[in-house]
Structure 1
Amino acid sequence: MTDTTSGSARGSKSDKAAKGAKGPKAGLRLERIHTTPGTHPYDAVTWERRDVVMTNWRDGSINFEQRGVEFPDFWSVNAVNIVTSKYFRGAVGTPQREWSLKQIIDRVVLTYRAAGEKHGYFASPDDAEIFEHELTHALLHQVFSFNSPVWFNVGTQQPQQVSACFILAVDDSMDSILDWYKEEGMIFKGGSGAGLNLSRIRSSKELLSSGGNASGPVSFMRGADASAGTIKSGGATRRAAKMVVLDVDHPDVEAFIETKVKEEEKIRALRDAGFDMDLGGDDITSVQYQNANNSVRVNDEFMTAVENGGSFGLRARMTGEVIETVDAKALFRKMAEAAWACADPGIQYDSVINHWHTCPESGRINASNPCSEYMHLDNSSCNLASLNLMKFLRDDDSFDAERFAKVVELVITAMDISICFADFPTEKIAETTRAYRQLGIGYANLGALLMATGHAYDSAGGRALAGAITSLMTGTAYRRSAELAAVVGPYDGYARNAAPHQRVMRQHADASAAVAPLDDLDAPVWAVANDTWADVVRLGARNGFRNAQASVLAPTGTIGLMMDCDTTGVEPDLALVKFKKLVGGGSMQIVNGTVPRALKRLGYQDEQVEAVVAHIAEHGNVIDAPGLKSAHYEVFDCAMGERSISPMGHVRMMAAIQPWISGAISKTVNMPEDATVEEVEEIYFEAWKLGVKALAIYRDNCKVGQPLSAKTKAPAAASAPAVAAAPAPAVEKVVEYRPTRKRLPKGRPGITTSFTVGGAEGYMTANSYPDDGLGEVFLKMSKQGSTLAGMMDAFSIAVSVGLQYGVPLETYVAKFTNMRFEPAGLTDDPDVRMAQSIVDYIFRRLALDFLPFETRSALGIHSVEERTRHLETGSYEPVEDDELDIESLAQSAPLAPAAPHVALPLADRPKAAPAAAAHNSTELAEIRLGLNADAPLCFSCGTKMRRAGSCYLCEGCGSTSGCS
């Protein structure tokens, strides 16, 4: 696309744009990218009708239903469900309800076209039509998507809010603090998130004018947290998204750091006492500070003091004088310890953030939105849009840089037009946003793109390609911004900030030119990007810029699902094995479609590709896949699992793309449960050294509200020899061996347990051999003769026969725990507070009753007593005295004479007898295919969510735990 009034050459474009700044503003001349004159994009695809029916996770009842909706035939079931339930407007069941994708695209695109024509963006009606058709095609074919507020609001009767990200401000006065509560509440009500810096508020160590001590910001955080929780529970389907930032030199910084650590200790104590403390649970509201992400804003002075082991001064808010001196390294250690313990606080690097600030004459950058990608002036907002990178990968695996740049121009033009008609939650935000016109273009599917092109996420080649694409995207966005300035004028605050804005553009250009391309994939992209930045510097000096900010990297939660992206934002792939929803209901497990493309790129033949894909389908990873070179394993590394990307690999990727992002990157660095505080310190320190603007860490199992663990206790290195040592003769022995059935005697000891899972009641009777563990299981659910009762009877018989033929119980536990289907949810068992299905509960209970500690622990299954011990001692393992008690109980209770079946209280249940040695950790790891096990359950549908940037995303219904 170009903005010339004649011709399309780059040189003439620059000249025309420059003339446009001085002479008549002729409007943009546009060229077609994907569409054909005379053919509407809707007429070029095949449409079909589908039924969208979404069920309640507790009882199977229908909680959303809309039949006969219209979508292109290439849209997935998941994308159709999410758009229908989230973005269609009008009451369900009424004639006003939208029923076709055409309607919502038209609602948005025609509003954008009308505003563009009204405000003089287009040179002619033909250019306006090209804009409409190209925008429609790109949305229809999932090339990009606007952020959720656009789909919620644009073209409807409600306020036309287009921004998803907001930054507020609060001063040291009660009026300002109460305004903060109100403004935040209005933003939450509209489905968006907000962040602010509390550092202007006096600390609790300073005096009021009346002579008393100030309350301090931590105290006022309680009121804001309660407000956010109330608004969330007042009808929203996701938690209020907010960010609270405090400067590292604030005298209350230590109290701020410790807020969530103390509350997490309360949560664990209440959970172990039987309260429902999961995210969204009935009792979670009894603790504080749970609705915000906390971040400490550090500067170069503090980080240098940490590096050199020096002291650092905490300053009074009103006078700026140092009122306390602390050891910088000790304070930094406290931050790392808190993050290790509960994932908060995150960290923001103030000096680098403001070094890249385009508008310092208008004020500093003090805070961010909840996910830390939008950083600009106080009382401002940013509307987002994200491109699907996989749509620009050619058949020969090269990246189509030219078409990518044209789509970026199209999207940035549309995003800027939206500010002309947008509404805002407060007048202060409206004034700032209209004066600075902050935009946030970004992308999704980077992880899938890197894998498809044969690059490991944590590799020099992967970082080079990601950096080149990011540089091209932001450079193109700023070039179009300069071209728009020639047509409709620069942003109001530009004249005041012209010198620093142009300085930052040169910083971007210099950083891009300094990179040495690595291979045939990134080199062409760098070449186009460098040419683009040269245009930016030249055009910006002549025309100014239409936008103070152009790009961010957002989590792309719901809109990533709308675009059928395999990966969100800058994240790597989560797992090689995924679940695909099927038309008509149900789902199937499939290997990520990017894997075959990556294997072909790496030179493997079709037969080899089939063999590797089959191995992944069975094992969930590429370890020992037939014919796959070990040097290529890293290409298939994912965020979690057997071969997971190292935490520092995430940081290196952030550093590789940060120089070409106007704002920042929404990203959480995942760490294993056994990570140390020192490793957290290293990540926070190295991120500063590498020029990252902000990040957060999450250590597996560091928070309550996660019923499962995503890691294997034994390290991968220890399990590898076990896999390699399985020789071919072992397979022959299995074939030749004829198992014999060992029946139970007439009288056998047993335990009968009553249970409730997600509101469904049942009984389980587990009978054991007098001398050798579990031998049969009986399950009773629902009324005799019902389908469920019959299936449970059949399932019981199958499991019982397998046990009697020698199938180890731990094998059943490894295969059936984590299986997810309704009914699911809360149970009445204090040892198993949450179950993903009845089968999941049954085998967790059997593991607790019949497997030795070592085996259960390897599977991540612990009793409430063991979890309590872990809190007190740091270890699940029983102390020596406990081991003697367990042994004596094991020798007596399970071997007692046959007795009538009774339902024993769980607290009185006999401990498990020592039995076979712990199962091979490699086999136990097979259950780790649902890999984001630490995530909460979705408020709307109960599906386990997965991490997307700093938020959680539900792949079932599209709900997010933060901003979209």
Structure 2
Amino acid sequence: MVTAQDILVGASDYPTESIAEMTAQSRDIGIGYTNLGASLMALGYPYDSEQGRAWAASITALLTGTAAIRSTELAQSLGPAPLFAADAAGWIGVYRMHLGAATHIGSVDVQPELNDRVVQVWSEALERVQLVGSRNAELSVAAPTGTISFMMDADTTGIEPDLGLVKFKKLVGGGTLQIVNQTVPRALRRLGYTSEQVAEIVAYIAEQQSALGAPHLRPEHLAVFACAMGDNVISYGGHLRMMAAIQPFFSGAMSKTVNVPAETTVDEVEQLLIDAWQMGIKCVALYRDNCKVGQPLSTGKQTIDLPAELVAAKPVREKLPRSRSSRTFEFRVADCKGFVTVGEYEDGRPGELFIRVSKQGSTLAGIMDAFAISVSHGLQYGVPLKAFIHAFVGMRFEPAGITDDPEVRLANSLIDYLFRRLALDYLTYPERLDLGVLGTDERLQQTLPGVEEHAVGSSPGLDLASSATEADRNFVETTSAEPSVSDSPLGQAMDAPLCMQCGIQMTRAGSCYVCSACGSTSGCS
């Protein structure tokens, strides 16, 4: 594998010329492994344990040390990397540091023969690099491997622990794929469980998606099945300690995600980064659960405990009393005649609506009846009448035109007329002013903005002409500085009627309205 990767250094294409030149000088390669988390589980070692870290460090040191020996063999045959001659002392010093770290792995006696082999390999690598040099500057790296590891029959990716004993992967084309850890039975058998006990525990995990509470599973073995997410979770410190244990034996950095719960604070993230720096970890990536709308892997649905009052809260329908007062009015919009009945609560609020238009059985009558039922349910479930009026006033469709209502002379549609009428009957003046729905008298009583009373004084005798001229000049300057009627926001208000001739919204002119398109007036001028 080392030989193949060294060949690829010269056969590959690179994005820029500078990268190609630097790669040719250092001849970096990147050998690595995957499925570390599942391997530890199969051996019966918890991911966050001294035994697990010692075994992982030994495997990593053996991998990089063996690659280092092969790199020196290539250097003996093909020559060392061009960069080796420029910094041979530093290069050899790195090998010496690898050997020094390897001698400290044996503090936890996991597999004595493995630890002895690690020291032996790195001793040989150091001797050879001093004699012939090395063909490759960097030898190993912890690649992410991603979900492609599952295609290689691996239960975990890279140096990661298992995300969850049962996982759900979102597919690009839609849907999800359930991924079940296949290492659990092997781990249980190694821990001494019988075939019947293994079958019951595996069935429980498949159903509950967790090892917590599994039958026959002893508490001291629960840590073996701890995962990055879920209810039996590895702490962020456990992730960092594993990274610190194997970092001395990787030439490059490690692709490793430190999973933290959704409620992790900014201060905790800061402390995590400081801890990683103090442990000598080259790089660290954090992932806070549910920080993305759609994450590719999840361990199942999350149950959120809500306060009792929120759980019990649900929409309450306030029905009208069996005997209630109502208000009925007749209307006509264009050539469509109808009747509206509004049922009221005891305090006068509207609670139901009945609309009768056209002939019984017609499409329009059915639609309006269904619409009235919908509005009635909304009113009884607490939707404010003002919200309905804001939504429906101004809707434009046929039939539309002149009405027989002196307060609403022109309507854009039946719905527009009905809710303008309801606004006039049930909303206060400030509410209607906010919505732009005013009656005829209220529109006439509004003062025209920008027009002020101007008193022109006069002086007796010879000062009469000069005083008049002064007053005229002041009047012109004052009125020219004020906005005109058409420039004012109320110059063409929302409640201004539509022209009966052309249908364009009219503009206020004094106490009347005039159409700017065809010149028609409302009858005052």
Tell me the TM-score range normalised by the shorter chain. Answer: 0.5 to 0.7
The answer to whether the aligner puts 1:892 opposite 2:318 as a matched pair is yes
The answer to whether the aligner puts 1:500 opposite 2:90 as a matched pair is yes
Asked if structure 2 preserves the Cα contact closer than 8 Å seen for 1:591 and 1:613, the reply is: no
- Cα deviation for residue 672 of structure 1 reads 0.7
- Cα deviation for residue 622 of structure 1 reads 1.1
TM-score by length of 2: 0.57
Asked if structure 2 preserves the Cα contact closer than 8 Å seen for 1:672 and 1:711, the reply is: no
- Cα deviation for residue 700 of structure 1 reads 2.1
Superposed counterparts of 1:36-115, under 5 Å: none
Alignment-derived partner of residue 418 in structure 1 = 8
Aligned partner of residue 641 in structure 1, secondary structure:
coil
Cα gap change, 1:596 to 1:506, in 2 (>3 Å):
same
Cα gap change, 1:423 to 1:603, in 2 (>3 Å):
same
Query: More relative contact order in 1 or in 2 (CA 8 Å, sep 6+)?
Result: 1
Q: Which amino acid aligns with 1:613?
A: V
The answer to whether the aligner puts 1:575 opposite 2:164 as a matched pair is yes
Aligned partner of residue 439 in structure 1, secondary structure:
coil
The answer to whether the aligner puts 1:450 opposite 2:40 as a matched pair is yes
Alignment-derived partner of residue 482 in structure 1 = 72
CA distance in 2, matches of 1:900, 1:644: 54
Cα gap change, 1:606 to 1:654, in 2 (>3 Å):
same
Q: Which amino acid aligns with 1:425?
A: P
CA distance in 2, matches of 1:511, 1:574: 29
Runs of at least 5 residues in structure 1 that lack an aligned partner in the other structure: 1-410, 715-809, 811-850, 857-885, 913-964
Deviations 1:93-148 (A, max 9, x none): xxxxxxxxxxxxxxxxxxxxxxxxxxxxxxxxxxxxxxxxxxxxxxxxxxxxxxxx
Asked if structure 2 preserves the Cα contact closer than 8 Å seen for 1:700 and 1:710, the reply is: no
- Cα deviation for residue 550 of structure 1 reads 0.5
Asked if structure 2 preserves the Cα contact closer than 8 Å seen for 1:517 and 1:526, the reply is: no
- Cα deviation for residue 419 of structure 1 reads 1.5
Aligned partner of residue 318 in structure 2, secondary structure:
helix
**Matched positions, count:** 330
Aligned partner of residue 443 in structure 1, secondary structure:
coil
Aligned partner of residue 287 in structure 2, secondary structure:
strand
CA distance in 1, matches of 2:195, 2:169: 23
Asked if structure 1 preserves the Cα contact closer than 8 Å seen for 2:30 and 2:141, the reply is: yes
Aligned partner of residue 229 in structure 2, secondary structure:
coil
- Cα deviation for residue 537 of structure 1 reads 0.4
Give the alignment partner of residue 666 of structure 1, picking from 247, 255, 266: 255
Q: Which amino acid aligns with 2:47?
A: Y
- Cα deviation for residue 890 of structure 1 reads 2.8
Alignment-derived partner of residue 19 in structure 2 = 429
Aligned partner of residue 105 in structure 2, secondary structure:
coil
Asked if structure 2 preserves the Cα contact closer than 8 Å seen for 1:439 and 1:550, the reply is: yes
Asked if structure 1 preserves the Cα contact closer than 8 Å seen for 2:147 and 2:157, the reply is: no
Aligned partner of residue 673 in structure 1, secondary structure:
coil
CA distance in 2, matches of 1:472, 1:542: 21
Asked if structure 1 preserves the Cα contact closer than 8 Å seen for 2:165 and 2:209, the reply is: yes
Aligned partner of residue 33 in structure 2, secondary structure:
strand
Aligned partner of residue 476 in structure 1, secondary structure:
helix
Asked if structure 2 preserves the Cα contact closer than 8 Å seen for 1:641 and 1:711, the reply is: no
The answer to whether the aligner puts 1:656 opposite 2:237 as a matched pair is no
Alignment-derived partner of residue 278 in structure 1 = none
Give the alignment partner of residue 552 of structure 1, picking from 141, 154, 161: 141
The answer to whether the aligner puts 1:535 opposite 2:124 as a matched pair is yes
The answer to whether the aligner puts 1:565 opposite 2:154 as a matched pair is yes
Deviations 1:783-808 (A, max 9, x none): xxxxxxxxxxxxxxxxxxxxxxxxxx
Q: Which amino acid aligns with 1:641?
A: G
Give the alignment partner of residue 606 of structure 1, picking from 186, 195, 208: 195
- Cα deviation for residue 538 of structure 1 reads 0.1
Higher-Rg member (1/2): 2
Alignment-derived partner of residue 681 in structure 1 = 270
Cα gap change, 1:572 to 1:616, in 2 (>3 Å):
same
Deviations 1:834-891 (A, max 9, x none): xxxxxxxxxxxxxxxxx987449xxxxxxxxxxxxxxxxxxxxxxxxxxxxx78x636
- Cα deviation for residue 442 of structure 1 reads 1.0
CA distance in 2, matches of 1:524, 1:903: 79
Aligned partner of residue 546 in structure 1, secondary structure:
coil
CA distance in 2, matches of 1:680, 1:628: 34
Q: Which amino acid aligns with 1:890?
A: V
- Cα deviation for residue 425 of structure 1 reads 1.9
Q: Which amino acid aligns with 1:513?
A: T
The answer to whether the aligner puts 1:515 opposite 2:105 as a matched pair is yes
Cα gap change, 1:897 to 1:449, in 2 (>3 Å):
farther
Alignment-derived partner of residue 620 in structure 1 = 209
TM-score by length of 1: 0.32
CA distance in 2, matches of 1:903, 1:594: 57
Asked if structure 2 preserves the Cα contact closer than 8 Å seen for 1:658 and 1:692, the reply is: yes
Give the alignment partner of residue 225 of structure 2, picking from 636, 652, 663: 636
Aligned partner of residue 290 in structure 2, secondary structure:
coil
CA distance in 1, matches of 2:12, 2:380: 63
Asked if structure 2 preserves the Cα contact closer than 8 Å seen for 1:595 and 1:613, the reply is: yes
Superposed counterparts of 1:863-942, under 5 Å: 890=316, 892=318
CA distance in 1, matches of 2:242, 2:294: 29
Deviations 1:3-47 (A, max 9, x none): xxxxxxxxxxxxxxxxxxxxxxxxxxxxxxxxxxxxxxxxxxxxx
Asked if structure 2 preserves the Cα contact closer than 8 Å seen for 1:438 and 1:548, the reply is: yes
The answer to whether the aligner puts 1:440 opposite 2:440 as a matched pair is no
- Cα deviation for residue 578 of structure 1 reads 4.5
Cα gap change, 1:489 to 1:601, in 2 (>3 Å):
same
CA distance in 2, matches of 1:908, 1:640: 46
- Cα deviation for residue 568 of structure 1 reads 0.8
- Cα deviation for residue 614 of structure 1 reads 1.0
Superposed counterparts of 1:802-821, under 5 Å: none
- Cα deviation for residue 693 of structure 1 reads 0.9
CA distance in 2, matches of 1:706, 1:903: 39
- Cα deviation for residue 713 of structure 1 reads 3.9
Cα gap change, 1:909 to 1:663, in 2 (>3 Å):
farther
Cα gap change, 1:545 to 1:676, in 2 (>3 Å):
same
CA distance in 2, matches of 1:662, 1:894: 78
The answer to whether the aligner puts 1:467 opposite 2:57 as a matched pair is yes
- Cα deviation for residue 710 of structure 1 reads 6.0
Cα gap change, 1:639 to 1:519, in 2 (>3 Å):
same
CA distance in 2, matches of 1:448, 1:667: 15
Asked if structure 2 preserves the Cα contact closer than 8 Å seen for 1:670 and 1:699, the reply is: yes
Asked if structure 2 preserves the Cα contact closer than 8 Å seen for 1:481 and 1:546, the reply is: yes
CA distance in 1, matches of 2:269, 2:317: 45
Deviations 1:331-356 (A, max 9, x none): xxxxxxxxxxxxxxxxxxxxxxxxxx
Aligned partner of residue 669 in structure 1, secondary structure:
strand
CA distance in 1, matches of 2:37, 2:382: 46
Asked if structure 1 preserves the Cα contact closer than 8 Å seen for 2:253 and 2:282, the reply is: yes
CA distance in 2, matches of 1:423, 1:908: 70
CA distance in 2, matches of 1:519, 1:689: 26
Deviations 1:231-284 (A, max 9, x none): xxxxxxxxxxxxxxxxxxxxxxxxxxxxxxxxxxxxxxxxxxxxxxxxxxxxxx
- Cα deviation for residue 695 of structure 1 reads 0.7
- Cα deviation for residue 480 of structure 1 reads 0.8
CA distance in 2, matches of 1:911, 1:476: 74
- Cα deviation for residue 903 of structure 1 reads 7.6
Q: Which amino acid aligns with 1:432?
A: M
Deviations 1:603-662 (A, max 9, x none): 111111011011111111111111110111111111111111111111111111101111
Superposed counterparts of 1:672-751, under 5 Å: 672-705=261-294, 711-713=302-304
Q: Which amino acid aligns with 1:449?
A: S
Asked if structure 2 preserves the Cα contact closer than 8 Å seen for 1:596 and 1:613, the reply is: yes
CA distance in 2, matches of 1:442, 1:911: 63
Q: Which amino acid aligns with 2:287?
A: Y
Asked if structure 1 preserves the Cα contact closer than 8 Å seen for 2:84 and 2:133, the reply is: yes
Q: Which amino acid aligns with 1:506?
A: R
- Cα deviation for residue 519 of structure 1 reads 4.1
